[in-house]
Structure 1
Amino acid sequence: QTISGKHGLDGDGQYNGTSDLQLERMNVYFNHASGDKYVPRAVLVDLEPGT
């Protein structure tokens, strides 16, 4: 959720941002799906307790 919010995506994967720079760098963490949706390229899980 944190990464998607920083890239201007809502919970459904729709881009709502206003920055061209966000769109240019979207493919770092997300793949463009059908329509205007983006899906995560990977799931990042922190297994270390207390972080």
Structure 2
Amino acid sequence: MGKPELHQKTEVKIKEPTSLKGTFTSVLFLGGFLVLTWLGVFLLFLNRF
């Protein structure tokens, strides 16, 4: 039987840091839409009584 190799050489590639400004902007727009929708439905609910 052969000996299993314990030390395998692997290359680690370091990626450049990416900008998440577009993701943050999209999340803010989505959050704003959800808050405005919730407030609109809540105010509609209050006006019914």
Pick the TM interval, shorter chain.
Answer: under 0.3
Larger Rg: 2
TM-score norm. by structure 1 comes to 0.21
Higher strand share: 1
Q: Highest relative contact order (Cα 8 Å, sep 6+), 1 or 2?
A: 1
Higher helix share: 2
